[in-house]
Structure 1
């Protein structure tokens, strides 16, 4: 009786496996039984075993072997089918990866989406608030108000030059594939929408560049705009536009701007003039004491009127976009020290640092206790820091409400683009090490090194302490590594610390100096009195 019961269970199990195979193979099922007639399991073959009689030993193994073979065959069939589908899915994914590897122009990327690790907590620093440039933020509802002014700019260009709009559309169409290759990720715009965006945004940028280049609002009036124009005039709106145009996700490739401007001035193959105009346009955002030298400004204005007959600096000729041009203008003129190996006791550890290993030097308060002095260095290059004879000379840095967004986007560009040096990142991390609290900011402000328009010194300290979050940094790639090493060597010298402590305690104010002199004088008198008393005792008169 036990053997019969096991055979019925095995038959049910095999029937379930076959039904499962039929469903997976999309085969039609058998017709259901008529209502009211309950389905019965198939009758098991009769067994020649009487009730209570034991099963012969020679018959039991044969039936068990047969059932085991059928069960193993069914399991093997199902497992083989499932494994085949799994392998097919893996092969599809590999084919998709091979196609992406072959078609995506990784080497041409220069306009990136800011990684999530960098933008956490500072979303507004990377997202435009006034105007969208390029495809990433194109068509967003809160930025559509500026679209009508873009069309006004295109209409003004066509009216001023007498050109047909098809001339610009055809030029942009010829560069469409090259422009698409500059952007990271898939773009949702169609071919016509993308070309229209290139012409519209590019013309808008060029009108702003040319209008600001002359200065004092004369450039916009020369281009035909009214002095009370809500956008094309030197108003407060211009500052917000400049901030948006310096964001990494809000860029157009430089070569499309060169082509559009070349068509306007009758020289389609020119290059370099847009870079000059961009440097002049972003002049107010420069975090320096004297943002642009008068000689450079005169050269830019003269080249604008002369339509750039001479070639521009090679560093800006090969620029990627406006943010890259701005960064190059910050780092231009004056050689920086070559990075050298970071030689310290922990140099055997991995070089890519995390938040715990971004400490290049000590803060201002600790360095002052070691006798290091701070002086303002007279130069218009804020990154050009010097150290000699215990004096750290730092150029003046201007901090305003757009400095945070400016530095964050410059750091994002250096983090995303492998061909960029990490000079801005090195400078920001260096200043972050110097500034730990509002006391450090207050002293740097007192020395004329930091000038800020924020609410308090605490806000400046928070700004620098939050700029370097989730930043990947290599000590050996920093142009300030040698300087930091020399500062740390000076800091670790005990005589310097003792001398600074003595000076701080006893020479901090005039009364302390007078007290020290009086104490020394009394000590000398005491020593003299003791000497003469002992001398008179051993050598009486």
Structure 2
């Protein structure tokens, strides 16, 4: 029994010595005398306990205490030189990121997190097809890759060209294309060029198919993608998202190579407008006389949007936005108001209130009328009548407006016309009753389930948007409406109209009451007159 105990004791002693040697190997060569003395004392103490056959638990406690003391005197931090090198590398990287020339080329952004927090994250994420690096190679979007390769194959067969012609052309533009995206793109040069050629050719085939017909391009009428089927609307909605964009100059180059004119510009923008036309929030046609009056009212410098004349488009979303705005009204903000304005912050209904809701404006004497124009943002007010162009709302309107607002929030060289309009409509619409009034006036037409869904849509669009009401082009209109509502006579007249002239039966009742009142007054007059002036 004693032999076995000594054997166990010897094993623990050897383990302790090994642990001691391991710890000492990591210590500086110049140890303090106290550490060396403690080690010698520890060895002697173990030898004494071995000879005296002291209990095993006592030796184990001693081992733990000495091991703890040895570990505590070890090194506590990594080498300071490696730490400084790491900091200098990060500073060098920050210096490169701070280069102004790189930020100036940025035009395709990731949607900020504060906009995603509204709970509408699906409006920014593609559901069918990914374009560009942000959602590249995601598992749920890989089903579209074979169709992209089919598009490239059709182009090569029609043009009798080699794929290397497209790869080499995009390779030259790779650095410029990477600068358009936010943050580092974790793709090799070959992977990036392949992605751009594949996605760009897929986009161009869709554009040309919508304009010329997919059958003329060599696709079957039963093609699951390249045919005007129900899925095309979902593809259009994915392709208009901010994070799903390809630089327009790349599309121009790919299309120019197909046409045999690599420097060709402007045609892709026109094709994009035709392809995305079903997503437009208005379909109000203009007659020739209406168009001429509209151009005269905006001045000689105003003309319809022509993508061939404007080569500054950044991507398809930017081109589509410009087509919606044409030449928008230029706001003239007052400098002294902006200086003292505290409204440039995350949207607060108290700070972002441009105008009252529809029901309140009606009670104040404001009437609503549909304005005949295809510019949905062109709101006018005159003589107590607020004229608003017709707005068509469908299942893709929410995603469209959210991505347009996100682009205006992110891009510095971009006006806030869409944001201003959406905020204005958000102020007008607070309840389903407001939507019902605008629908009755022909201003809003929607394909949603109910008026409550439309009201909820507008109330959610600008929940977290940074917006300055003094920079809105609709601020003058709002001020005119508010001044009109301040006159009490307008409110009294509106109350009379709503209460007594809202329908034919109310009018008849009012007229009857007036006649009865007049007869009563006449009877009273003759009774009093006969009393004081009796008949002779």
TM interval, shorter chain, is: 0.7 to 0.9
Q: Does 1:418 align with 2:421?
A: no
2:381 counterpart SS class: strand
Are 2:97 and 1:97 aligned? no
Q: Tell me if the contact between 1:378 and 1:395 (Cα under 8 Å) persists in the aligned partners.
A: yes
1:364 aligns with 2:358: yes
Which residue matches 1:173? 171
1:232 corresponding residue in structure 2:
226
Correspondence list, 1:326-475, <5 A: 326-332=320-326, 335-336=328-329, 338-341=331-334, 348-353=340-345, 354-356=347-349, 357-475=351-469
CA displacement 1:238-287 (0-9 Å, x = unmatched): 11110100000000000000001001101100110000000000011111
Structure 2 distance, partners of 1:192, 1:247, is 25
Residues 192 and 29 of structure 1, relative CA distance in 2, 3 Å threshold:
farther
CA distance in 2, matches of 1:467, 1:509: 36
Equivalent pair of 1:342/1:476 in contact (CA under 8 Å): no
- Residue-pair matches, total: 462
Q: Could you tell me how far apart the structure 2 residues matched to 1:251 and 1:397 are?
A: 26
2:29 and 2:278 map into 1 onto residues whose CA distance is 75
Structure 1 residue 535 displacement after superposition: 4.0
Q: Find the aligned partners of 1:327 and 1:253 in 2 and give their Cα distance.
A: 15
C-alpha change, 1:428 and 1:343, in structure 2 (3 Å) is farther
Deviation of 1:347 after TM superposition, in Å, equals 8.9
CA distance in 2, matches of 1:480, 1:389: 17
- CA 1:28/1:397 → structure 2, altered by over 3 Å: closer, same or farther? farther
Q: What residue in structure 1 maps to residue 200 of structure 2?
A: 202
Cα offset, 1:85, TM superposition? 9.8
Instruction: Note the aligned Cα RMSD (angstroms).
Output: 3.2
TM-superposed CA distance for 1:83, in Å, is: 11
Q: Could you say which residue in structure 2 is the equivalent of 1:317?
A: 311
Instruction: Kindly state the Cα deviation for residue 236 of structure 1 after the two structures are TM-superposed.
Output: 1.1
Quote the Cα distance in structure 2 between the aligned partners of 1:103 and 1:539. 99
Q: Is the 8 A contact 2:166 2:197 kept in 1?
A: yes
The range that moved more, 529-538 or 470-479, is 529-538
Are 1:241 and 2:235 counterparts?
yes
- For 1:123-272, what aligned pairs fall within 5 Å after superposition? 123-214=121-212, 219-272=213-266
Would the alpha carbon gap of residues 143 and 88 (structure 1) be closer, same or farther in structure 2, given more than 3 Å must change? Answer: closer
Q: What's the CA shift string for 1:411-468, capped at 9, x where partnerless?
A: 0000000111100001111111111011111111111111111111111111110000
Residue 510 (structure 1) shift: 2.4
2-side partners of 1:422 and 1:271: how far apart?
27
Cα distance, 1:317 vs structure 2: 1.6
* Contact 1:340/1:482 (<8 A) preserved: no
8 Å CA contact 1:316–1:328 kept in 2: the answer is: no
Q: Deviations over 1:153-183 (max 9, x none)?
A: 1111111111111110000000000000000
Q: Hey, what's the Cα distance between the residues in 1 that align with 2:477 and 2:335?
A: 10
Q: CA deviation at 1:293?
A: 9.4
Task: Give the aligned partner of residue 27 of structure 1.
Answer: 28
CA distance in 1, matches of 2:486, 2:354: 14
Cα shift at 1:395: 1.1
Q: Distance in 2 between matches of 1:95 and 1:157?
A: 44
Q: Taking structure 2 as the reference length, what is the TM-score of the superposition?
A: 0.79
- Local SS of the residue matching 2:386: strand
Structure 1 171/347 Cα, relative in aligned 2: closer, same or farther at 3 Å?
A: closer
For the 8 Å contact 1:375–1:447, the answer to whether it is kept is yes
Calculate the TM-score normalised by the size of structure 1: 0.79
